[in-house]
Chain A
Amino acid sequence: DTGVSQDPRHKITKRGQNVTFRCDPISEHNRLYWYRQTLGQGPEFLTYFQNEAQLEKSRLLSDRFSAERPKGSFSTLEIQRTEQGDSAMYLCASSPQTGNEQYFGPGTRLTVT
């Protein structure tokens, strides 16, 4: 297993368009997290799944954001009607049921023009 993977690595979109990102966690990791990171800041939590259930959502996750993990494996994060303020690195992380470490993927860098 090569770790957490994310696709695409880079996305440039125009304001108002919808974008969708994919995260494939480490196999058998039942916990999956999405974070957003802007320049000079630490990652900010967006949402958390345990298996297919979305158990936590940050108030940062506005109505334009939606995340799914339909089969408890990969996850998608969709942003509708993108705004320039959505420009950031979107990080996915996973962790096993037992264990404290969260393993991060390489991220998807979103640029909204």
Chain B
Amino acid sequence: GQNIDQPTEMTATEGAIVQINCTYQTSGFNGLFWYQQHAGEAPTFLSYNVLDGLEEKGRFSSFLSRSKGYSYLLLKELQMKDSASYLCAVRSNQAGTALIFGKGTTLSVSS
């Protein structure tokens, strides 16, 4: 079957660093995505990993270990506006096809 697990909720304070973990079990693997979704809004793309290792993009970094079925999203220098749901998604098939999403991790950043 297909399963993607991530924590339901996390809290952190402004300026801190937070790591959101994601584990997956899918019938195939062709890339892992992280999306940010503010309440009532559409998901917006944050990162894409298809090879093992760390991808850094500004304050956000994403890591992938395909052998462990594991990824994390690292958010540095947290800001209040980072309060949102963070969705881990896997593309299990060839490029261009559907994403399988986890339930999302709701991050609350306090001052």
Contact = CB atoms under 8 A, between A and B. Distances in A.
- Asked if A pairs with B, the answer is yes
Interface string A86-105: 00000100010100111111
Interface string B88-111: 010100011111111110000000
A45 interface: yes
A43 B50 CA distance: 21
Contacts of A41: 103-104
Nearest to B88: A42
Interface in A23-63: 31, 33, 35, 40-45, 48, 50, 55-56, 58
Contacts, number: 57
Contact of A104 (B42, B48, B98, B103): B42
Contact of A107 (B35, B42, B95, B101): B42
Interface residues of A, number: 26
Contacts of B101: 35, 42-44
A46 B50 CA distance: 24
Interface string B27-68: 000010101000001111100101000000000000000000
Given A40-B103, A42-B104, A103-B45, 18 more contacts: A33-B98, A33-B99, A41-B104, A42-B4, A42-B87, A42-B102, A43-B43, A43-B101, A44-B101, A50-B96, A55-B97, A91-B43, A100-B91, A101-B33, A101-B48, A104-B35, A105-B42, A106-B41
A107 B33 CA distance: 20
A100 B48 contact: yes
Contacts of A101: 33, 45, 48
A22 B13 CA distance: 40
Contacts of A45: 98-100
Contact of A56 (B35, B48, B97): B97
A73 B110 CA distance: 43
